[in-house]
């Protein structure tokens, strides 16, 4: 009996220890992040279509049968733009540069998405991200020739014309319209509006947007969406949607919106959004991250706690990475190290990422967000 007790007390260090999966670690080092990022980029290069795009532009699942036919094309345009942004932000290789050049040709030559139906204005997603992508490319040193700048400006102005036409009376943008349906949609969301504000700022600086009231109204809209609890309302209403229980406008339901909205207001020079406020938003992102985990891969939108949806996940993590970049340089690596395992958790063995139902546009957009979010934390490149 005494021998058994002695053996039971012996350390178990000699037993083989399995390595903790990268997605389950508390932090992830830059080297591991680079490996995951490069696998995502390799998937984008390998799965690019001959025309320079990625997603199919058609319905991939009967779960989305009720959307307009045009919406599937619009989601393709948006996803392809995000993938293009990922290739642009990545360290250049011959394969990535060739894929980027094909993607730029596609971006500048593709058909502009149109409104799909009275209520379904999902073409807004394609317009928003194509515009953002075009401004990113215009600032890239590799596309500074007169020819490149001319075609990028023409592309940006095409999308900008639509943005001006569909900016809501409140000053924002969204992807549905409410009755009574009108040519200028009347519904808007904080996050759709916020994601385009940094690009509108750059368009004004370049002289590509002459009517600065478009930007001013968008910034004012996002500011009105800010709530006293630190969250940003999903969409602006005269009476905030708070019910005292599990509300989408609670901080726990606003984790992804907080990051993109703070980023937008900082880019627009809103002094009230200080580094401390940005850090508070990032801190809350990690503190309540379990609510995003609970929503990821759920096939029904907004079915998780605090009305979180699966497709909030990669979107929110990309903008969290951007928010981290707004903080003092000495604080960034620690926060990026915490963010990386959450990003990598959504990556599949093939290299692509997913946070919602498995469609071609979801694979492309999530993989682009994954590569973008990881690249932002790799300061040595």
- Please tell me the distance from the alpha carbon of residue 204 to that of residue 164, in angstroms, as a whole number: 13
Cβ pair 373, 33 in contact under 8 A: no
- The pLDDT score that the predictor gives to residue 238 is 81
Q: To the nearest 10°, the Cα dihedral for 311, 317, 318, 322?
A: 150
Distinct helix (H) and strand (E) counts, the chain: 14, 0
Burial class (CB in 10 A: 0-12, 13-18, 19+), 37: buried
Q: What angle do CA 230, 233, 235 make, to 5 degrees?
A: 160
Which of 7-11, 108-112, 364-368 is predicted least confidently?
A: 7-11
Cβ pair 106, 59 in contact under 8 A: no
- Please tell me the distance from the alpha carbon of residue 269 to that of residue 318, in angstroms, as a whole number: 21
Burial class (CB in 10 A: 0-12, 13-18, 19+), 333: middle
Six-digit token string for 315: 């979107």
Helix (H) or strand (E) holding 56: none
**Residue 185 in 3-state DSSP?**
coil
Helix (H) or strand (E) holding 283: helix 275-287
Q: What angle do CA 267, 139, 108 make, to 5 degrees?
A: 115
In the predicted model, what is the mean pLDDT of residues 70-91?
Answer: 98
Indicate the pTM of the whole model: 0.93
pLDDT at 3 over 70: no
CB-side exposure of 299: number of CA atoms within 13 Å?
7
242: how many CB neighbours lie within 10 A of its CB? Answer: 15
CB-side exposure of 9: number of CA atoms within 13 Å?
6
Cβ pair 104, 137 in contact under 8 A: yes
Which of 178-182, 202-206, 220-224, 350-354 is predicted least confidently?
A: 178-182
- The pLDDT score that the predictor gives to residue 21 is 61
Q: Which domains can be identified in the chain, with CATH numbers?
A: 26-109+188-376 (1.50.10.10)
Summarize pLDDT for 109-145 with one digit per residue, the tens.
Answer: 999 999 999 999 999 999 999 999 999 999 999 999 9
- Please tell me the distance from the alpha carbon of residue 11 to that of residue 53, in angstroms, as a whole number: 56
Burial class (CB in 10 A: 0-12, 13-18, 19+), 101: middle
Summarize pLDDT for 255-309 with one digit per residue, the tens.
Answer: 999 999 999 999 999 999 999 999 999 999 999 999 999 999 999 999 999 999 9
| Residue 10 or 135, more confident | 135
Least Cα distance to 73 among 114, 44, 128 occurs for: 114
């Amino acid at each position: 009996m005494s021998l058994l007790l002695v053996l039971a007390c012996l350390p178990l260090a000699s037993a083989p220890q399995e390595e903790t999966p990268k997605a389950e670690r508390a932090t992830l080092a830059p080297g591991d992040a680079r490996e995951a990022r490069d696998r995502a980029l390799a998937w984008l290069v390998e799965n690019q279509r001959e025309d320079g795009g990625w997603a199919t532009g058609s319905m991939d699942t009967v779960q989305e049968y009720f959307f307009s036919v045009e919406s599937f094309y619009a989601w393709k345009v948006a996803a392809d733009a995000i993938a293009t942004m990922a290739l642009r932000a990545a360290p250049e290789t011959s394969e990535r540069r060739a894929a980027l050049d094909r993607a730029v040709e596609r971006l500048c030559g593709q058909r502009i998405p149109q409104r799909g139906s009275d209520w379904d204005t999902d073409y807004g997603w394609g317009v928003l991200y194509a515009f953002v992508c075009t401004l990113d490319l215009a600032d890239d040193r590799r596309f500074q020739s007169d020819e490149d700048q001319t075609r990028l400006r023409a592309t940006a102005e095409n999308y900008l014309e639509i943005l001006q036409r569909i900016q809501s009376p409140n000053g924002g943008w969204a992807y549905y319209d409410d009755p009574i349906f009108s040519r200028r949609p009347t519904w808007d969301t904080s996050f759709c509006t916020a994601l385009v504000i940094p690009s509108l700022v750059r368009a004004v600086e370049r002289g590509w947007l002459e009517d600065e009231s478009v930007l001013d109204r968008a910034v004012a809209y996002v500011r009105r969406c800010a709530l006293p609890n630190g969250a940003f309302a999903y969409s602006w209403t005269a009476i905030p949607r708070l019910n005292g229980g599990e509300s989408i406008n609670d901080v726990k339901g606003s984790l992804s919106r907080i990051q993109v909205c703070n980023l937008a207001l900082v880019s627009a020079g809103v002094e009230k959004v200080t580094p401390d406020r940005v850090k508070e938003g990032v801190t809350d992102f990690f503190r309540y991250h379990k609510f995003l985990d609970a929503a990821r891969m759920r096939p029904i939108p907004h079915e998780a706690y605090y009305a979180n949806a699966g497709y909030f996940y990669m979107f929110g993590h990309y903008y969290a990475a951007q928010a981290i970049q707004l903080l003092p340089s000495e604080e960034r690596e620690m926060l990026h190290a915490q963010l990386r395992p959450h990003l990598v958790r959504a990556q599949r063995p093939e290299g692509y990422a997913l946070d919602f139902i498995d469609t071609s546009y979801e694979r492309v957009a999530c993989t682009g967000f994954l590569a973008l979010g990881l690249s932002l934390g790799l300061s040595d490149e």
